[in-house]
Amino acid sequence: MHGTRILDEADRLMTVCNSCRYCEGLCAVFPAMEMRRAFSDGDLNYLANLCHSCGACYVDCQFSPPHEFNVNVPKTLAVARAESYAAYAWPQALSGAFARNGLVISVIAALSMAAFILGFAALNDSGVLFGVHTGPGAFYRLMPHNVMAALFSAAFLYAILALAMSVRAFWRDIGAPIGGRADGGSIFQAIRDAGELRYLHGGGVGCYNEDDRPSDRRKLYHHLTFYGFLLCFAATSVATLYHYLLGREAPYPWWDLPVVLGSLGGIGLIVGPIGLFAARMRRDPALLDEFSYGMDVGFIAMLFLTGLTGMLLLVLRETAAMGPLLALHLGAVFALFITMPYGKFVHGIYRFAALVRYAQERRTAA
Amino acid sequence: MSSKYDVLVIGGGNAALCAAISARRGGASVLVLEGAPKFYRGGNTRHTRNMRCAHDAATEILTGPYTEDEFWEDLLRVTGGQTDEVLARHMIRESKDILNWIVEQGVRWQPSLGGTLSLGRTNSFFLGGGRAMLNALYLTAERLGVDVEYDAEVTDLVIEDGMFLAARLKRPIKGETEIRATSLVAAAGGFEANIEWLKQYWGEAADNFLIRGTPYNRGSILKMLLDKGVQEVGDPTQCHAVAIDARAPKFDGGIITRHDSVVFGIVVNKHAQRFYDEGEDIWPKRYAIWGRLVAAQPDQIAYIIFDSTVVTSFMPTLFPPIAGQTIAELAGKLELDPVALEKTISEFNAAVLSGTFDHTILDDCRTEGITPPKTHWARKIETPPYLAYPVRPGITFTYLGTRVNKEARMLMKDGKPSANMFAAGEIMAGNVLGKGYAAGMGMTIGSVFGRIAGREAAKHARN
């Protein structure tokens, strides 16, 4: 028996699957399962986070419902995955944030954006807030750069700390039996597997979403979202370097690197989340963890909001709307940062760790 | 849906879909009638995982060549010569091209699965298993414009002088109807799920059989064809039967209820007596004999008994072994006579000679002085906990079928080929397989003769 009902069910399924093994060519979950005959809580959380929810094993399974063996691996692992996020959250006192995640994310996002608007309004004359500012340092007439940098660095560092502590707990739980630190080769392999979403492809045909016709749409939208996010992050990083190393202050002209990166990323962060949201709404309920709706949509909405406010700010930065839009954008980004360890963002972190572990296991077994 | 088709395919498995696709590609309008609901479509194909095809060189997923001659020799060996050489050689020749043709229909291959290394050279495995293969074939058929109806129970066939005219159909909602077609492809499988029919040959024992596939493999189409003048082929008492876990469901437990632990222990019947040499031969052969052996035991039940030292020597099982700290405790849980079981095991242990255990070869671990002997892999059962799997006969498929020629055209009782009736898959497997089995051959028969049947049926419809 395991700690939770869903882990008991995951254990039951892995026992069924381990005596069948037809799906071993579909993804990493089943080969990892085959390396075990019994499953600890950590093993099951590992397998749950290794699963990319492509749905192929459900469509291909001769024992999926309505068969009496009732084998539904994608759904069971989706629930187990969501529960593992709470189980490994740091500090544990905040794990409850996952229970009503949609509400938590919405409230924090709303408060954060409201705080920036109020802050801007309280600390600036309305002439400044609604004024037209251009040229280097335009943004910092509304919020001094050092304050902005300090605030966001603090939020970001906290998120990094909380995520690091969480993934440490996860890593210990899943890594201990075979043990050892992650080696460079395994990490490189995991970066490749995550970067191309190698296991979100149904064994080659694409993933399943609304019916039994595979497609690559979810993969495409995830790529747009993920690489959009990375580009935006790169834009911010480059801008920070410009500021401190070159003494060049934002806003930058449209052709300059931070703006190019941010624009491309922003488009990804708008189009990608829309596509993922549409796919989420159309997804076959049989494959879904219905309790994760708030968490899934909350995270998608946060990314979309970040992309949208960023793009609006870029387009309208030389108008009177710049002040309010800057407040909204900063509010969205701040909320995104501080909720990172307590929302769907963590799926990427745990999945990456699981992929490292899988690469490691493959090397050990080879 | 139009009321008249060029080709009507009855059945919904590998053979039926290969026939439908091949007929459609041949320019025919095609209707597939599957008697099962959509989820259970495909008969035994649902539970398959590979196909045996001849090939002259290694491929991406096959480790080495498997020539037509070698395939033929294997077939000859497993059937003990009970095969139609012309048909069988034709099938083997055609199987070479199937490796590529089936991929063109959307099916994907993968290397042999974990635990099946012995098949890595001869058998191509379906990525995702048999249901994945079916899904691919159905998608392709639908894309090509083949009509498919589920829950479509054919209640009668109108056949005059070996000529198919129409099929009567009972639909769950729309009621009875008649469907006419220029050609018929019968690919509706055997009768393994029809317990009443099995009882004709097995008597009441058939009540204790478990059926490995869906309850829809009732052989109703086979029966209609034989009743209407089609020549039968194959031994009606023959069926492919393996020992599966007695706790498995009555139907559709598939492959995961199988047990491959016989060689690691002993097998006793309900009187706690051994009844056959558990170490006679290595896997796939011994795999396929234990169903019939258990079927011959009282109440059609037996128990594989082993000890804790061998638990990890075979694949993990769906149902956990039943355990006891003593032989008596185990016997109690199995509802066997503890004294008898203790006696059987102590006699067995006393008869074990020492040797070097190696389950991959016919090793020298054997017994002396007991009947039946265990001629290989005999080791004492002495380390608690003592463990057991209860097993019953699991019926995979039957061999009785319709006789066909190289065009997959059915032959009538007078030996004349039917004008427009073709058969493919398990319903005609008895032409090639008089008895015995080698892994993956059922799918070869289905794909090869399905493709031929569809092609010929379309050709007939066009003329």
User: What pLDDT, on a 0 to 100 scale, did the predictor assign at position B115?
Assistant: 66
Q: What angle do CA A164, A168, A172 make, to 5 degrees?
A: 175
Beta-ladder partners of B187: none
List CB contacts (< 8 A) between A24 and chain B: 110, 113-114
Locate tokens 């491309």: which residue?
Answer: A264
Q: Select from B123, B79, B80 the least CA-distant residue to B99.
A: B123
Read off the tokens for A98: 């996952």
List CB contacts (< 8 A) between B39 and chain A: 66-67
How large is the average pLDDT for residues B37-66? 95
Q: Is A18's Cβ below 8 Å from some Cβ in B?
A: yes
List CB contacts (< 8 A) between B46 and chain A: 62
Read off the tokens for B149: 């109806």
Query: How far is residue A203 CA from its own chain's centroid?
Result: 23
Q: Does the distance separating the beta carbons of B115 and A37 come in below 8 Å?
A: no
Residue A125: helix, strand or coil by DSSP?
A: coil
List CB contacts (< 8 A) between A212 and chain B: 135, 139
Report the alpha-carbon distance of residue B451 to residue B453 in Å, rounded: 6
Q: Does the distance separating the beta carbons of A59 and B114 come in below 8 Å?
A: no
Read off the tokens for A17: 């699957």
Residue B67 pLDDT greater than 50, yes or no: yes
Sorted by where each begins, the domain ranges of chain B are 4-236+399-462, 241-394
Read off the tokens for B238: 């023959």
CA within 13 Å, CB half, A204: 13
- If pLDDT is split at 50, 70 and 90, which confidence band does B117 have? low
Q: Select from B460, B462, B428 the least CA-distant residue to B445.
A: B428
Q: Is A1's Cβ below 8 Å from some Cβ in B?
A: no
User: Taking a contact as any Cβ pair under 8 Å apart, which residues of chain A between 303 and 322 contact chain B?
Assistant: none
Q: What distance in Å separates residue B133's CA from the closest CA in chain A?
A: 8
Q: Does the distance separating the beta carbons of B110 and A213 come in below 8 Å?
A: no
* pLDDT tens over chain A, length 366 residues: 888 999 999 999 999 999 999 999 999 999 999 999 999 999 999 999 999 999 999 999 999 999 999 999 999 999 999 999 999 999 999 999 999 999 999 999 999 999 999 999 999 888 888 999 988 999 999 999 999 999 999 999 999 999 999 999 999 999 855 555 678 999 999 999 999 999 999 888 899 999 999 999 999 999 999 999 999 999 999 999 999 999 999 899 999 999 999 999 999 999 999 999 999 999 999 999 999 999 999 999 999 999 999 999 999 999 999 999 999 999 999 999 999 999 999 999 999 999 999 999 998 887
- Which amino acid, one-letter code, is at A264? L
Q: Is A362's Cβ below 8 Å from some Cβ in B?
A: no
Q: What distance in Å separates residue B389's CA from the closest CA in chain A?
A: 15
- Which amino acid, one-letter code, is at A171? W
Q: Is B312's Cβ below 8 Å from some Cβ in A?
A: yes
Closest residue to B318, CB basis, from A16, A37, A205: A16
Read off the tokens for A115: 């705080």
Locate tokens 């001869």: which residue?
Answer: B122
Report the alpha-carbon distance of residue B38 to residue A101 in Å, rounded: 37
User: What pLDDT, on a 0 to 100 scale, did the predictor assign at position B2?
Assistant: 45
Among chain B residues, the shortest Cα distance to A56 is held by B128
CA within 13 Å, CB half, A130: 2
Q: Does the distance separating the beta carbons of A205 and B39 come in below 8 Å?
A: no
Report the alpha-carbon distance of residue B64 to residue B41 in Å, rounded: 34
Within 8 A by CB and 6+ apart from A25, the residues are A203, B110, B111, B113, B125, B127, B128
**Which of A29, A62, A208 to mutate to test binding with chain B, by most B CBs within 10 Å of its CB?**
A62
Please report, for residues A221, A347, B405, the alpha-carbon distance to residue A206 in angstroms, rounded to integers and kept in the order given: 13, 20, 41
Beta-ladder partners of B148: B32
Beta-ladder partners of B305: B266, B388
Please state the φ and ψ torsions of residue B384, each to the nearest 5 degrees.
-70, 160
Q: Select from B37, B134, B198, B211 the least CA-distant residue to B425.
A: B134
Report the alpha-carbon distance of residue B71 to residue B27 in Å, rounded: 33
Report the alpha-carbon distance of residue A27 to residue A53 in Å, rounded: 10
Closest residue to A19, CB basis, from B127, B131, B315: B315
Q: Select from A355, A330, A267, A300 the least CA-distant residue to A112.
A: A330
Closest residue to B135, CB basis, from A15, A59, A66: A59
Q: How many CB atoms are closer than 10 A to CB B344?
A: 23
Read off the tokens for B260: 């491959």
Read off the tokens for B392: 């019953």
Contact status, residue B294 vs residue B380, Cβ threshold 8 Å: no
Residue B171 pLDDT greater than 90, yes or no: no
List CB contacts (< 8 A) between A60 and chain B: 128-129, 131-132, 135
Closest residue to B127, CB basis, from A20, A37, A203: A203
Q: How many CB atoms are closer than 10 A to CB B53?
A: 26
List CB contacts (< 8 A) between A59 and chain B: 131-132, 135
Among chain A residues, the shortest Cα distance to B114 is held by A21
DSSP assignments along A64-107, one per residue = STTSTT---HHHHHHHHHHHHHHHT-SSGGGGGGGTTHHHHHHH
Contact status, residue B228 vs residue B158, Cβ threshold 8 Å: no
pTM score of the predicted model: 0.95
List CB contacts (< 8 A) between B139 and chain A: 212-213
User: What pLDDT, on a 0 to 100 scale, did the predictor assign at position A256?
Assistant: 96
How large is the average pLDDT for residues B232-257? 94
Read off the tokens for B103: 């991929």
Read off the tokens for B49: 């995982």
ipTM over 0.90 threshold:
yes
User: Taking a contact as any Cβ pair under 8 Å apart, which residues of chain A between 63 and 92 contact chain B?
Assistant: 63, 66-68
Computed over every residue of chain B, the mean pLDDT equals: 94
Q: Does the distance separating the beta carbons of B127 and A204 come in below 8 Å?
A: yes
User: What pLDDT, on a 0 to 100 scale, did the predictor assign at position B174?
Assistant: 77
List CB contacts (< 8 A) between B61 and chain A: none
Q: Is B39's Cβ below 8 Å from some Cβ in A?
A: yes
User: What pLDDT, on a 0 to 100 scale, did the predictor assign at position A366?
Assistant: 74
Q: Is A20's Cβ below 8 Å from some Cβ in B?
A: yes
* Per-residue b or e along A317-356, where b marks 16 or more CB atoms closer than 10 Å to that residue's CB: beeebbbbbbbbbbbbbbbbbbbbbbbbbbbebbbbbbbb
Alpha helices in A176-250 (DSSP H): 184-195, 217-241
B177-196: pLDDT as tens digits: 999 999 999 999 999 999 99
Q: Does the distance separating the beta carbons of B46 and A204 come in below 8 Å?
A: no
Largest CA distance in chain A: 72
Q: Is B46's Cβ below 8 Å from some Cβ in A?
A: yes
Among chain A residues, the shortest Cα distance to B313 is held by A37
Q: How many CB atoms are closer than 10 A to CB A243?
A: 16
Q: Select from A60, A45, A54, A44 the least CA-distant residue to A74.
A: A54
Q: What distance in Å separates residue B317's CA from the closest CA in chain A?
A: 5
Among chain A residues, the shortest Cα distance to B257 is held by A19
Q: Is B255's Cβ below 8 Å from some Cβ in A?
A: yes
CATH homologous superfamily of domain B4-236+399-462? FAD/NAD(P)-binding domain (3.50.50.60)
User: What pLDDT, on a 0 to 100 scale, did the predictor assign at position B112?
Assistant: 82
Report the alpha-carbon distance of residue A75 to residue A286 in Å, rounded: 7
Locate tokens 């074939």: which residue?
Answer: B137
Please state the φ and ψ torsions of residue B58, each to the nearest 5 degrees.
-60, 150
Q: How many CB atoms are closer than 10 A to CB B311?
A: 17
Q: Select from B58, B125, B40, B18 the least CA-distant residue to B423.
A: B18
Closest residue to B316, CB basis, from A15, A24, A204: A15
The answer as to CATH 3.90.700.10 being correct for domain B241-394 is yes
- Give the number of A-B residue pairs with CB atoms closer than 8 Å: 81
Q: Does the distance separating the beta carbons of A20 and B132 come in below 8 Å?
A: no
Q: What is the DSSP letter of A245?
A: I
Among chain B residues, the shortest Cα distance to A60 is held by B132
Residue B36: helix, strand or coil by DSSP?
A: coil
